[in-house]
Amino acid sequence: MLYKLLKSKLHWVRVTSKDLNYEGSIVIDSEMMEEAGILPYESVLVINVETGARFETYAIPGSKGEVKLNGGTARLAEVGDRLIVMAFAWVEEGELERHKPKVLVFNGRNEVVLRR
């Protein structure tokens, strides 16, 4: 049996920009993505802490500190809103005890303040 578990979480990253006229996705600082283990074009679930909006999209690597919403997702948050970005993995029963998600917590300047 496989279990869907949290693999990676970016907690309270702030939206830095939006582009309604792009095809879609969320652009995230490539260093944030790498440290959290989120791959380019990987599916992510995004929660807007300010509004409660939830949406699924894919992650694209960006520049330092960047968190940019593109396409229709640009309508689901404002610049400065806090987001929770999560990626999940299917884990086999024998791997459950060893599984540990990578969690990064951010301050208002998109700097990591806690690693779990």
> CA 104 to CA 102: how far, in whole Å?
7
Instruction: Please say if 25 is a catalytic residue.
Output: yes
Structure token digits, residue 86: 């999560």
Residue 20 phi, psi (nearest 5): -60, -30
Instruction: Please say if 63 is a catalytic residue.
Output: no
**Residue from 22, 41, 58, 63 carrying the catalytic annotation:** 58
- The two counts, helices (H) then strands (E), for the chain are 1, 9
User: Can you state the percent helix, strand and coil of the chain, rounding each to 5?
Assistant: 15, 50, 35
> CA 62 to CA 40: how far, in whole Å?
10
**Residue from 25, 30, 41, 63 carrying the catalytic annotation:** 25
Kind and range of the H or E run holding 33: helix 30-36
Residues identified as active-site: 25, 58
